[in-house]
A and B are shown apart, each in its own frame.
Chain A
């Protein structure tokens, strides 16, 4: 049940971010440093989420089939595959490597 509360709070805060741009005087947000941080933080968070989902299992690091998924996704992206194909490539690589015995 507590997850529900954090989830709904996330929804409220996400909408608050969006609305703030429309309601706050532009001069406040026009500060280039604000959009710069919004951008670098987007890159940093997505890079971090990629790494956590590839290497972390709980509080330890593990090299397993997910590494193959990362490689397969990178290859698919390199060849400009659509998002859904990239995701399927990642799933296929992880499932395939597990079939071959690499966890």
Chain B
């Protein structure tokens, strides 16, 4: 999915800094930021993820939100999956409550990421509140993919801030372009939404079990559509998925993958981005 990552050669953390620890290291140590592997990965993931803010912006305005509602989602909600979920429910004629519920349930995993990052980075004071806002799939994966604490910190902030800036910039571009398009169906924008959701789902389907969960939830959705108001079938599927998660025993980090894998090269064949909640103490 990110073939062009080959353009940015990934440096393996070989010459690791012996002085581990706090943020003061970045200032005091002669580590040039462009040489930091985590910063490189963070920058390239920022560009890849930021760019697809265009599709969010365009789809959002064509699904009935105005420019500032679209920008509010990217600036304040700032979590790609939840933003697409919100506009996806609105586009399908669902109510505001249903849109909010879908977006909120989809945001639950960010709480798990927050807990992992809190254990890894231990941000203090105002940094903790800033870190929370940019805690998303990609910044978490960029950080947990590193082994050196200083690199973990750099990776998180580079990806988090980089994606935030570019995602909002390109959301605005997409929203302006989308409002100029006219009839969205003529341009196949409803098809673009379908593709976007499949694109978000795809990287999480590693192995037989997540595929089975996806199929069961898809079936539950289809069965529910004729019987409940628009938007509610998505919540039915969420309930089914939660029940499956409660009663089954699989990988505890299943489904917790970024849309764009920052370490795509290393992960050919390998599974998972690293730390589960119990591994760091």
Residues of A within 8 A of B (CB): 2-11, 13-15, 17-24, 26, 29-30, 32-56, 58-61, 65-66, 68-70, 72-74, 76-77, 80-84, 86-96, 98
What secondary structure prevails in chain A residues at the interface with B? helix
Query: CB of B173 within 8 A of chain A?
Result: no
Q: Mark B3-45, 1 if CB is under 8 A from A, else 0.
A: 1100000000000000000000000000000000000000000
Contact status A10-B100, CB under 8 Å: yes
Contact (A82, B88) CB under 8 Å given A11-B73, A35-B277, A68-B191: no
B224 to chain A, nearest CB (A): 9
Residues of B within 8 A of A92 (CB): 188, 191
B192 at the interface (CB under 8 A from A): yes
How many residue pairs link A and B with beta carbons under 8 A? The number is 369
The smallest C-beta distance from A61 to any residue of chain B, in angstroms, reads 6
CB-based contact A32/B278 at 8 Å:
yes
Interface presence of B180 (CB below 8 A): no
Query: Residue among B69, B132, B226, B240 with the most chain A CB within 10 A?
Result: B132
Contact of A56 among B81, B97, B230, B238 (CB under 8 A): B230
Residues of B within 8 A of A51 (CB): 218, 221-222
Does B186 lie within 8 Å of A95, measured CB to CB? Answer: yes
In the bound assembly, the distance between CA atoms of A65 and B186 in angstroms comes to 11
| CB of B177 closer than 8 Å to a CB of A | no
B270 in the interface (beta carbon within 8 A): no
Instruction: Report chain B residues within 8 Å CB of A23.
Output: 128
Residues in B whose Cβ lies below 8 Å from that of A94: 185, 188-192, 194
Measured CB to CB, the closest approach of chain A to B122, in angstroms, equals 10
Q: How close is A10's CB to chain B, nearest CB, in angstroms? A: 5
With A42-B81, A52-B233, A87-B55 known to touch, is A47 a contact of B277 (CB < 8 Å)? Answer: no
Inter-subunit contact A48/B217 (CB<8 Å): yes
When the two chains form their complex, are residues A48 and B220 in contact, meaning their CB atoms are under 8 A apart?
yes
A65 near B188 with CB under 8 A, answer yes
CB pair B133 A15 closer than 8 Å:
yes
Tell me the interface secondary structure of chain B in the complex: helix
Interface residues of B (CB under 8 A from A): 1-4, 48, 51-52, 54-55, 65, 69, 72-73, 76-79, 81-82, 84-86, 88-93, 96-97, 99-100, 102-119, 123, 128-129, 131-133, 135, 185-202, 204-205, 210, 213-218, 220-222, 225-230, 233-234, 236-238, 240-242, 244-246, 248, 250-256, 259-260, 276-278
Cα A65 to Cα B191 with chains together (Å): 8
Chain A residues near B54 (CB, 8 Å)?
84
Given A18-B133, A38-B108, A53-B92: 15 more A-B contacts, CB < 8 Å: A9-B100, A21-B112, A21-B118, A22-B118, A33-B245, A36-B248, A42-B81, A42-B108, A44-B244, A46-B81, A69-B191, A73-B194, A77-B202, A83-B259, A94-B194
Residues of B within 8 A of A98 (CB): 185-186, 188
B residues within 8 A CB of A46? 81, 106, 197, 200-201, 204, 214
